[in-house]
Amino acid sequence: MKVSKYNFIKNINGVNVFFNAKTCALAVVDDNFMNALEDIEANNFIEDNYDKKLIEDMKLSGCIIGDNVDEVRQIEFYRNLSKYDKSSLALTLAPTLACNFRCTYCFENHGNKVMNEKTQDEIISFIKNQIKNIKNLSITWYGGEPLIARKIIYSLSEKILALCEENKVIYTSFIITNASLLTDQDILLFKKYKIRGAQVTIDGPKDVHDSRRISCNGKSTFDLLINNVNKLLNNGLDVIVRINVDKENINRIKELIFVLKDRIDKYSKLKIDFGKVSTFTEVCKSIEKSCFDNEEYADLLLPLTDNIINMGFDVNKMNIYPQVKYNYCCADYINSFVIDVDGFIYKCWNHVGVKEKSCGHISEMEKITSNEYLKWIQWNPLKNKKCKECKMLPICMGGCPDLVIDSKNDPVCDIVKYNLDNIIKFYYEKLKGVE
């Protein structure tokens, strides 16, 4: 028996709290646990000296493992299983890159095209070819502002839903929208076409939001969005309010939460999600100075989240409690694609519309082996010595690949590296509260 290399013990006011990054188990542990751990590490362990249940729990939590277990190898094995699993297909479709907003941090080049029929047919034909081999299909409607091309969303949805029903494939769909164009008719059609909800970005109280999420006609959209979020929620649809955070709006977030509490009818059903504003392309380079780095962001995320939970809101738990990751994101998963208005395919969401970063075209999807595609699929943080030896590997998995994939730069560690200690403390306090 030996101890896992992914164990963390944090002493909080004299109490030992254990976390294992390979299983994400968290527990308050006693002296017997600590003694067993020490004995195993010192090679003095005699199993009969310890309570059976304690040892079983230690094994179950991933804290102790068999002598012959190679944890890094296991991680690589599960990573490959997950990465090359083709039972699900995840498509992010941008029926247009046009947008009626000009957000200060937007990285897209918009134009005013909408997806033509040929490209729509090619998408359907691709799905038809895949449908026999998959169990789940998820579509995320993306843009630009996807509702500018609402007819395409509904016409594609009709065909895709029919294919899923015919082939008993589980279908889920979601839309990322600025919500300024949402109509009552859209809500009915969301329900008809199983678009289960929407992510709507609101970046602060009225003055802050309107100065960052600038509408092309110069009009304020804040009140309109609050009304539309209410409409979605009151019709039983899920809403994630996304708040993109940087140094410009961080001090006004709490005010926004008070406004939401006051003006959203069913705020307990709404989920809040934070995004860190980043400069992904030249288009948004001008806002570089106002962006937080991961370390700074980690410091402020947890107190902010705690505050919001205490006010009765639900938050995206993935933002807080670490998850075992076999892929960092959809970009390095084999069956996930972003498809732009012209049918060009990308792995990373941030590249949509940047043709030189495209992996190929939907019309040749079946035989796609371009370098631009393979580099995502074959990207492997385990090839990096730092990541391979890192205790955070199972919950970080090398950080955002887009930041390193075309360079020899060091990996950019996920925020979990900087706030794990605080997360353990945060959950310990929560557990203590329910005792």
Residue from the set 365, 392, 420, 424 that interacts with ligand SF4 by CB under 6 A: 392
To ligand SF4, the closest distance from the beta carbon of 435 in angstroms equals 32
> How far apart, in whole angstroms, are the C-alpha atoms of residue 126 and residue 147?
23
User: Which of 297, 316, 317, 300 is CA-nearest to residue 414?
Assistant: 297
Q: Is the dihedral of CA 324, 329, 333, 337 positive or negative?
A: positive
348 binding ligand SF4? (CB under 6 A): yes
> How far apart, in whole angstroms, are the C-alpha atoms of residue 206 and residue 109?
26
Cis status of the peptide bond prior to 143, with omega within 30 of 0:
no
219 binding ligand SF4? (CB under 6 A): no
To ligand SF4, the closest distance from the beta carbon of 412 in angstroms equals 7
353 binding ligand SF4? (CB under 6 A): no
Instruction: Give residues 44-83 in contact with ligand SF4 (rule: CB under 6 A).
Output: none
> How many residues belong to the site for ligand SF4 (CB under 6 A)?
31
Q: Which stretch binds ligand SF4 (CB under 6 A): 60-68, 113-121, 143-151, 181-189?
A: 143-151
178 binding ligand SF4? (CB under 6 A): yes
Instruction: Give residues 232-271 in contact with ligand SF4 (rule: CB under 6 A).
Output: none
> How far apart, in whole angstroms, are the C-alpha atoms of residue 380 and residue 401?
9
To ligand SF4, the closest distance from the beta carbon of 400 in angstroms equals 3
Taking CA atoms, 273 is separated from 176, 223, 434, in Å, by 13, 20, 25
> How far apart, in whole angstroms, are the C-alpha atoms of residue 22 and residue 325?
9
To ligand SF4, the closest distance from the beta carbon of 47 in angstroms equals 33
Residue from the set 108, 122, 248, 342 that interacts with ligand SF4 by CB under 6 A: 108
To ligand SF4, the closest distance from the beta carbon of 280 in angstroms equals 6
To ligand SF4, the closest distance from the beta carbon of 290 in angstroms equals 15
Residue from the set 28, 329, 368, 382 that interacts with ligand SF4 by CB under 6 A: 329
224 binding ligand SF4? (CB under 6 A): no
Nearer to ligand SF4, 140 or 157 (CB): 140
Nearer to ligand SF4, 152 or 348 (CB): 348
The dihedrals phi and psi of 152, each to the nearest 5 degrees, come to -70, -40
340 binding ligand SF4? (CB under 6 A): no
331 binding ligand SF4? (CB under 6 A): yes
394 binding ligand SF4? (CB under 6 A): no
> How far apart, in whole angstroms, are the C-alpha atoms of residue 416 and residue 422?
10
156 binding ligand SF4? (CB under 6 A): no
92 binding ligand SF4? (CB under 6 A): no
Asked if 200 and 239 count as a contact pair (C-beta separation under 8 A), the reply is yes
Give the bridge partners for 96, in sequence order: 114
400 binding ligand SF4? (CB under 6 A): yes
204 binding ligand SF4? (CB under 6 A): no
Stretch 410-429: interaction string toward ligand SF4, x if CB under 6 A: -x-xx--x------------
145 binding ligand SF4? (CB under 6 A): yes
144 binding ligand SF4? (CB under 6 A): yes
Binding site for ligand SF4 (CB under 6 A): 99, 101-103, 106, 108, 143-145, 178, 329, 331, 348-350, 381, 386-387, 390, 392-393, 396, 398-402, 411, 413-414, 417
